[in-house]
Homo-oligomer: A and B are copies of this chain.
């Protein structure tokens, strides 16, 4: 089975997810600065979710790049990841509308956690098919980011009921960790292509 359509379909779904999130920012009825104020927390949660979906797309892009063929388990692990990503617009809208209240924050963390777990499952499915000596297996290495992130999300869920602000800071922190350029796959590639 070829990977092209899997990439194209994932690109389509991720492109729609990242774009429909903005629909949660309802056009305000007033036309002054005050009318923009209730939109601000929704805007901030949109920015954070945009960055997260961007990180997922970028990592997915890299991972599929070193994947040669796909099989049934990879296809379904990929759909499983897309399912959790598809809940981002809902949780982003909920957290934004309630100015980062406890329950929406915990739900946001739970969806982040499930997305991270399903990404890991997809990565395992690909490595199992490609072999442990594959490019991806080497590129992933000890994968400290992939292990740290779900632990931090899991910690942020109960934290949301103590201090939603602290829990949301954890989400921002994890996003920043991933934004630091990750050259693992780019570093391994030239060695093999030359």
The interface of chain A, by Cβ under 8 A from chain B, is: 1-2, 5-9, 11-20, 22-25, 27-29, 31-33, 35-36, 47, 50, 54, 57-58, 61-62, 65, 71-72, 75-76, 79, 82-83, 86-87, 89-90, 93-94, 97-98, 101-104, 107, 179, 181-183, 186
Contact = CB atoms under 8 A, between A and B. Distances in A.
16 contacts: A5-B61, A12-B16, A13-B19, A15-B15, A16-B19, A16-B20, A19-B20, A20-B20, A22-B87, A23-B89, A25-B90, A28-B94, A31-B102, A35-B103, A36-B107, A58-B72
A31 B72 contact: no
Quick one: copies of this chain in the complex? 4
A140 B58 CA distance: 27
Contacts of A28: 94
A27 B93 contact: yes
Given A31-B94, A58-B75, A76-B179, 17 more contacts: A1-B62, A1-B65, A5-B11, A7-B8, A8-B11, A9-B15, A11-B12, A16-B20, A18-B82, A22-B89, A24-B27, A32-B103, A50-B79, A50-B86, A54-B76, A57-B79, A58-B76
Contacts of A71: 186
A2 B84 CA distance: 27
| Binding site secondary structure of chain A | helix
A2, A18, A27, A181 — most chain B CB neighbours (10 Å):
A27
